[in-house]
Chain A
Amino acid sequence: METFALLLQGMATSFELLNLGLLIFGCLIGLFVGAMPGLGSVNGVAILIPITFIVPPTAAIIFLAAVYYGAMYGGAISSVMLGIPGASTAVATVFDGRPLAVKGEAMTALTAAAVGSFVGGTVSVILFTLFAPPLAEVALRFNAPETFALMVMAFATFVGLGGDDIPKTIFSILIGLVLSTIGLDLITGKPRLIFFGIPGFLHGINFLVLAIGIYGIGEMLWTLEETKGKVQMSKLSVNMKEVGRAFSALKKTIMAMNIGSFLGFFVGILPAAGATPASLMSYGITKQLSRNSKEFGSGVPAGVVAPECANNSASTGSMLPMLTLGIPGSPTTAILLGGMILWGLTPGPLLFTQQPEFVWGLIGSLYIANFFTLVLNIALIPAFLMVLRIPFAILAPVIFVLCVTGGYAPTQSLHDVWLMLLFGFGGYMLRKLDYPVAPAVLSIVLGPLAEKAMRQSLILSDGSMGIFFDFSSKPIAAVIMYIAIVLLIMPAFGPIYRKFFKKA
């Protein structure tokens, strides 16, 4: 049980006074950074890197990992309370978190998010502890064809996401895909779909711009129309009965927790994917496999648990390729990687043997950080709920300001603010026409990943699609691809199945 001894040692490191203080401080900063639209974990960690030079490397990584972690929790807060995704990783949390809050069950949504995050984070750090070296090997074998197969699977799960109206869902996916191709061609670097020659389109459509527009602005317009500005949510008492109700709602989310934790971790360890695709895929698959999948989107706790579980799980997972291969699994870990180089550590296959104190200190701290963020979150829920006491007439302008700053921050161009408003209006119209918007959001995240993986694969295979279906040379890709096809045709055959077998 050498691993176990090392882990205990790592945990002990986290309890040293300096480390523990930094850990709690990091969790708090992370919560804030995650909850503010436009400030995500990437910015948070980037801004804080300089602080870490005054402390030893182990304390530094513990601090930054806590910020990363806290941000995964924090993103859920504004998603639920305001309907604006606080960070890209929390977009899927809006799908069901916001409807829950509107129904007066914000308490349940926030509890589900906090507990989901805790479960996802804990499961993934256990997986990390036990299987780091073999999982690094998996990450290494997961190349372009495998990535593309996984993306197809994600899309397949989302065909079922928009309810029974499959043509409308496909339409929404295609809109997202078209938007995702704007900018520079990923393989040749040629500009494409630069509308009216506006240079702002060269950097493509930032995913957060679309998500904040559709959810933040769209939701605001929707609420204004529905309520004529008079809405004020009731049922805000926080008492033990409410808390009990919130926790009992979680009993039905065991499946979502499993899917979120394991899928999130797996997607997280694949280089270049990260927590955002993980949370979206986890939502889609949970919905697809759930017995009451039709209720997803109207406010079910499982719809909050699945993405929240997955984004925490993926954020831990993405540290694995960073530590073992020196390749960041997400934009935030890329910045952590830069930090490690400066602290004098060489990430790579030898890190575990050469710097056990650092690696195990980090892993140990993740267990502790999980626990503290859960406690902080649950304790702060009453404070978060205060937001709902604010009359909508005051809240709406605040939301609007947050949306504009959130749209501006990632690329710092006004072009994106206009686009965000345009998407807000477009999203609102789509909802009026009863088109699902979530699939469009998914495709703009996964579209570029899928396109790149597909084109790399096709270069490898000289243009033959067979590379995705060949069990002998690419078994992983083929298995995932066939599962994806089954998932894809399931919703199409669902109605037929019902028609023929229910009558009989």
Chain B
Amino acid sequence: MLIIILNLIGGNNMTIIKKLALVVVSLSLVAVSSISSAKPFSPKKPIELIIPAGQGGGADEIARLVQGVIEKNDYASKPVIPINKKGGSGGEAMTYVKKKAGDEHTLIITLNNVLTTPVNQPELGIDFFNDFTPLARLITDTFLVWIATEGKNTQGVETFDDFIALARGNGLVMGGTGSMSEDELLLGMMRGQFGFDAKYVPYDGGGAVAKGLVGGESDFTLNNPSEQMGFYQSGDSKALVMMTPERNPAFPDVPSSYELGYPDLEYYMMRAFMAPAGVDAEVEKYYTGLLHTVYHDDEFQTFNIDDGKLMSWLEGYGFKRIS
């Protein structure tokens, strides 16, 4: 269509005004035809929801919650099928979605590793800006520093300051979700800021990390709230600080990093959804609308707030700009 317009403009036996008029007409024709040809999209087969992390972690939980809310209320005409592709700090999942360019029935939930992994693993050939279609951010997840209540190497640690003192030069072991994922970056940050001397052991996702802590294999972790919630409620693990400006109502007894005087210690994880690159605007609109419906679902709101998450809808230009 564009070529035709350019050819028309190229003709030299027309006045400028005629040319302009033609361009306007043909452009509006393009617009009309694109509107008339674009039927509202609705899925024709089950929607694959790719999770770039293992089962039982934070991303997994949100993905399955979104699936459940959609299924329970019939928000979509086809089922949503969560698939875990946990390999290589999200590398496996991203490679998969990249290959699915143009596929209208694939979504991926993001951790921050969609930003860090392409940088750390250039050989995967993932170009974050061109390989995905960002849809919307639903939730911002927070991080806390966790120790086991009966941790053998962290006995007597009551406050975050006790912990900082201990973590200097005692060779503590930190359990994490995967090499070069956010918690390792955060550990790097704390190494720099507090002089931590800690080893990083990667596990399969946040669920396994939480178990490793309570099982005594690691001395501390930087889990999201939901990953430790079960152990926190049963008193097996305790949080020393939450890396946010304010306390969270789900953890009333845990101080915020600002309160303790460490405002540099602030970090979030976005829980957003993306489609593969090259999908139609109608497809994008459909899934963004679907996610918006999920976001405003009462059950979804209650669940996440109780779980200590921050509800933070962001779509369209705003989300694309930050991502």
Contacts and interface: CB of A to CB of B under 8 A. Distances in A.
B91 A189 contact: yes
Binding site of B, secondary structure by majority: helix, strand, loop or mixed? helix
A67 to B, nearest CB: 16
Interface stretch (A224-232, A326-334, A493-501): A326-334
Given A53-B71, A326-B230, A140 B65 contact: no
B88 A325 contact: no
Interface string B55-75: 110001100110111011000
B211 A337 contact: no
Contacts, number: 148
A456 B64 CA distance: 28
A190 B123 contact: yes
Interface string B129-165: 0000000000000000000000000000000000000
Given A189-B120, A326-B230, 14 more contacts: A143-B215, A184-B88, A186-B88, A189-B90, A189-B180, A199-B99, A202-B95, A325-B230, A327-B211, A337-B55, A339-B68, A348-B230, A350-B233, A460-B217
Contact of A459 (B68, B89, B199, B211): B199
Nearest to B234: A349
Interface of A: 46-47, 49-50, 53, 140-144, 183-191, 199, 202-204, 271-272, 321, 325-328, 331, 334-335, 337-339, 341-342, 346-350, 452, 456, 459-460
- Ordered nearest first, which 6 A-B pairs have the shortest CB separation? A348-B230, A189-B88, A338-B64, A342-B68, A334-B55, A184-B88
B174 to A, nearest CB: 11
B312 interface: no
A202 B87 CA distance: 9
Q: Which interface residue of A47, A49, A204 has the most chain B CB atoms within 10 A?
A: A49
B231 interface: yes
Interface residues of B, number: 55
A342 B203 CA distance: 25
A97 to B, nearest CB: 30
A203 B96 contact: yes
B204 interface: yes
Given A184-B91, A187-B179, A327 B68 contact: no
Contacts of A328: 55-56, 207
B92 A203 contact: yes
Contacts of A338: 60-61, 64-65, 67-68, 82
A53 B72 contact: yes
Contacts of B289: none
Contacts of B95: 199, 202-203
Interface in B209-241: 210-212, 214-217, 229-231, 233-234, 236
A47 B67 CA distance: 12
A183 to B, nearest CB: 6
Given A183-B87, A203-B96, A456 B202 contact: yes
Contacts of A271: 207-208, 211
B215 A141 contact: yes
Contact of B88 (A190, A337, A342): A190
19 contacts: A47-B79, A47-B81, A53-B68, A140-B211, A140-B215, A142-B215, A143-B215, A184-B88, A189-B121, A202-B96, A327-B56, A327-B211, A331-B55, A337-B55, A342-B65, A342-B72, A348-B230, A348-B231, A350-B233
